[in-house]
């Protein structure tokens, strides 16, 4: 059994891919201390360009390699007595005053770098291998979108675990009450597909020129990542990530790719407004659901009613697969009906509809609310 006794269900760590940091925070030769899952870690980028994450404390006498450690090739050298540890497997690779190495090995963490994000794999049992990979972001790497880092990279420390926030993808009614949508949005489809939970909804958000119909697609991959796309306003893709720092706190972040306006490297106009609204969402403790998540208790026996059982209820059943040895079966999904309400929108569809006027809140506010997964 790997259930963490005395830790409430929703705060137990789930197996999956999590965001560690942005590629732009770890350039060649950088060494960065991290703390996730209650452990001290160190990230560094070797001379080969590869990113590594290891347990932080040197196995000689315990110095933290993230404070004063130096990159040597693809190894990390401890600041205390200059012992070296290999990024690839954590093996001891040099002791400057001994003609051999010792057999001790630091724990290494599986790293996957993609789209300007550095992900790492957490296994609650310590032995589970990845069964999926982080979602590929369609908007990333495109010349007509701004790079995610630094302007679209937003992060804050919060007191809620991933599940509090991520149930949002399946919580339709709060879009009206918290995010001021005109009505509870229409659910086009929802449900679990293995390690991925998908929701697709259409609703009306207020804009300066009246209500605008938007479609929001969310793909939650594992317990720590959501890829969202919004159709109908300024073209934007987003990875929302929550990585437990320990059982009480998490790193909550948004990686926002917005369509480029003009030639510059710094987002302007509507693109800037979308990011600024996300910053308000991520960093402000008031006026959105962050203050609710920061202060709520998680009811395992929540009084879900009506369609909430098919959305939030199924999401909760699905989430257990990442932290239980014997997860319950997840009910079959409600598939998105073909052609409803837009036939599989593409970036190009968005570009066609992007000429609408969105300069300030509440229009952009609504955009942002939607992007964060509701």
If the CB atoms of residues 64 and 112 are measured against ligand FES, the closer one turns out to be: 64
**Of positions 83, 109, 164, 319, contacts ligand FES by CB under 6 A:** 83
User: Left (φ > 0), alpha (ψ -120 to 50) or beta: where does 250 sit?
Assistant: beta
Q: Judged by CB under 6 A, does residue 78 bind ligand FES?
A: yes
Q: Judged by CB under 6 A, does residue 80 bind ligand FES?
A: yes
Q: Which helix (H) or strand (E) holds 188?
A: strand 186-193
* Binding site partner of 61, from Fe ion, ligand FES, none, Cβ cut-off 5-8 A by kind: ligand FES
* Binding site partner of 332, from Fe ion, ligand FES, none, Cβ cut-off 5-8 A by kind: none
Which residues are bridge partners to 227 per DSSP? 219, 239
CB of 126 to ligand FES, least distance (A): 24
**By the 8 A CB rule, do 75 and 66 touch?**
no
d(C-alpha 308, C-alpha 289), whole Å:
18
Q: Is residue 293 classed as helix, strand or coil in its secondary structure?
A: helix
**Of positions 28, 48, 61, 132, contacts ligand FES by CB under 6 A:** 61
Q: Judged by CB under 6 A, does residue 44 bind ligand FES?
A: no
Q: What is the DSSP letter of 275?
A: H
Give the CA distances from residue 181 to residues 96, 135, 184, 228, 358, in Å, rounded to whole numbers and listed in that order. Answer: 64, 28, 7, 18, 16
Residue tagged 């000689």 (tokens): 60
* Binding site partner of 60, from ligand FES, Fe ion, none, Cβ cut-off 5-8 A by kind: ligand FES
CB of 58 to ligand FES, least distance (A): 3
Find the binding residues for ligand FES in span 131-170 (CB under 6 A): none
If the CB atoms of residues 275 and 282 are measured against Fe ion, the closer one turns out to be: 282
Q: Is residue 118 classed as helix, strand or coil in its secondary structure?
A: strand
Residue tagged 């609408």 (tokens): 356
**Of positions 2, 50, 60, 247, contacts ligand FES by CB under 6 A:** 60
Q: Which residue ranges make up the site for Fe ion (CB under 5 A)?
A: 168, 289, 374
What residues line the site for ligand FES (CB under 6 A)?
58, 60-63, 78, 80-81, 83
């Amino acid at each position: 059994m790997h259930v963490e006794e005395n830790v409430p269900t929703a705060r137990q760590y789930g197996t999956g891919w999590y965001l560690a940091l942005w590629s732009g925070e770890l350039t060649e030769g950088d060494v960065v201390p991290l703390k996730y899952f209650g452990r001290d870690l160190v990230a560094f980028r070797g001379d080969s360009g590869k990113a590594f994450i290891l347990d932080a404390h040197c196995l000689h006498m315990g110095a933290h390699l993230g404070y004063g450690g130096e990159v040597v090739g693809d190894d990390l050298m401890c600041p205390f007595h200059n012992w070296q540890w290999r990024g690839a497997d954590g093996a001891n690779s040099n002791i400057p005053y001994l003609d051999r190495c010792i057999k001790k090995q630091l724990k290494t963490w599986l790293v996957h770098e993609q789209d300007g994000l550095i992900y790492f794999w957490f296994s609650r049992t310590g032995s589970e291998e990845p069964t999926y990979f982080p979602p590929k972001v369609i908007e990333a790497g495109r010349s007509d979108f701004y790079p995610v880092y630094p302007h679209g990279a937003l992060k804050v420390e919060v007191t809620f675990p991933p599940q509090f926030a991520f149930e949002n993808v399946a919580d339709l009614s709060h879009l009206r009450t918290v995010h001021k949508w005109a009505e509870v949005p229409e659910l086009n489809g929802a449900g679990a597909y293995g390690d991925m939970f998908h929701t697709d909804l259409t609703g009306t958000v207020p804009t300066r020129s009246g209500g605008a119909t938007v479609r929001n697609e969310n793909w939650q991959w594992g317990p720590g990542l959501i890829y969202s796309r919004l159709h109908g306003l300024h073209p934007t893709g987003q990875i929302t990530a929550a990585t437990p720092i320990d059982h009480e706190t998490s790193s909550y972040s948004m990686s926002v790719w917005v369509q480029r306006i003009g030639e510059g490297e710094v987002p302007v106009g509507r693109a800037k407004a979308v990011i600024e609204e996300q910053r308000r969402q991520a960093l402000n403790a008031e006026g959105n659901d962050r203050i609710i998540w920061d202060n709520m208790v998680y009811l395992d026996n929540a009084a879900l009613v009506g369609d909430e059982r098919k959305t939030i209820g199924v999401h909760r059943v699905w989430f257990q697969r990442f932290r239980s040895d014997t997860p319950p079966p997840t009910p079959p999904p409600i598939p998105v009906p073909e052609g409803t309400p837009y036939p599989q929108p593409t970036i190009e569809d968005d570009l066609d509809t992007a000429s609408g006027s969105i300069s300030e809140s509440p229009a952009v506010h609504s955009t942002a609310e939607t992007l964060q997964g509701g």
